[in-house]
């Protein structure tokens, strides 16, 4: 047993060391390719890593940078948006995303969120889904313990404290649960998409023969509200709605 423990320990250390070296070599490789202006090769490496399930804001951000430098603005924007979903408080991602949108030719005024929805969004984006779920579980345990103390404690002072703790545990637990649910929904709903076609039109109906409602360009962000017969019903930032072929957009 004394011999097995050091072997297990060394195995774990070697595994962690290999993982760190692999991460460092990948970031160095991406950095070197960017400096050498080998953007297509950089795109291939990032896309390969993502296809293997290594989703990270770092990879998506650098993939967006590579597409931007390669002149593919819609692809750059969609990857910046995906990176921003994973790391919404990263200033570099937000800066590059804003700069990429500034290159987009459509001058559509977006309807901004109200103060309360914007504040709620900022709050649930402070932590990951796992953190909010963990907080919710901790407050649930606190609630159960406080309830037991309230029901079975003999001293009035303990019962008063447990009552306050129980109420706080319930309120904070419920808040953490809703924050976790909102963050999870934001990451998995994929209700927003980026137009990939250089120039296209949104239609009044899901048919190629229907009337054009508006002409839009690649890189514009739309909200998908419905789907039918190979068409998406989309909403522009100004609230205008129409239909576009599914192959013309890429979900974020």
* pLDDT tens digits along 145-201: 999 999 998 888 999 999 999 999 999 999 999 999 999 999 999 999 999 999 999
| pLDDT above 50 (res 15) | no
The predicted model gives 202-220 an average pLDDT of 93
- Token look-up 């103060």 returns 115
DSSP 112: P
The reported pLDDT for the residue numbered 24 is: 61
Instruction: For the chain, give the mean pLDDT.
Output: 89
| pLDDT above 60 (res 2) | no
Specify the pTM: 0.83
The reported pLDDT for the residue numbered 7 is: 46
Residue 42, classed as helix, strand or coil, is: helix
The predicted model gives 73-97 an average pLDDT of 96
The reported pLDDT for the residue numbered 169 is: 94
Beta strands in the chain (DSSP E): 192-195, 199-203, 212-217, 221-228, 231-235, 241-245, 249-251
> Quick one: tokens of 180?
């976790």
Interhelix angle 4-35/39-51, nearest 10 degrees: 150
| pLDDT above 80 (res 109) | no
Q: Please state, as a whole number, how many other Cβ atoms lie within 10 Å of the Cβ of residue 64.
A: 26
In angstroms and rounded to an integer, the radius of gyration of the C-alpha atoms of the chain is: 25
How large a percentage of the chain has pLDDT more than 70? 90
The values of phi and psi at residue 38, to 5°, are -90, 70
The predicted model gives 91-110 an average pLDDT of 89
* pLDDT tens digits along 54-68: 889 999 999 999 999
* pLDDT tens digits along 19-48: 444 446 888 999 999 999 999 999 999 999
């Amino acid at each position: 047993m004394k011999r097995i423990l050091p072997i297990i320990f060394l195995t774990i250390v070697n595994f962690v060391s290999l993982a760190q070296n692999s991460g460092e070599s990948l970031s160095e490789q991406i950095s070197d390719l960017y400096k050498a202006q080998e953007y297509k090769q950089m795109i291939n490496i990032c896309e390969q890593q993502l296809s293997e399930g290594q989703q990270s804001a770092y990879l998506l951000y650098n993939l967006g940078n590579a597409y931007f430098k390669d002149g593919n603005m819609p692809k750059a924007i969609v990857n910046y948006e995906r990176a921003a979903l994973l790391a919404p408080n990263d200033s570099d991602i937000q800066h590059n995303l804003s700069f990429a949108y500034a290159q987009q030719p459509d001058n559509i005024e977006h309807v901004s969120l109200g103060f309360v929805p914007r504040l709620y969004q900022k709050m649930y984006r402070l932590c990951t889904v796992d953190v909010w779920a963990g907080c919710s579980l901790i407050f649930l345990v606190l609630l159960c313990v406080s309830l037991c103390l309230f029901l079975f404690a003999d001293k009035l002072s303990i019962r008063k404290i447990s009552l306050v703790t129980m109420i706080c545990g319930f309120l904070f637990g419920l808040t953490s649960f809703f924050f976790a649910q909102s963050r999870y929904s934001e990451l998995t709903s994929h209700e927003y998409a980026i137009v990939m076609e250089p120039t296209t039109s949104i239609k009044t109906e899901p048919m190629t023969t229907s009337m054009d409602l508006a002409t839009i360009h690649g890189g514009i962000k739309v909200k998908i509200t419905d789907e039918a017969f190979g068409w998406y019903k989309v909403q522009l930032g100004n609230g205008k709605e129409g239909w576009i072929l599914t192959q013309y957009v890429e979900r974020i």
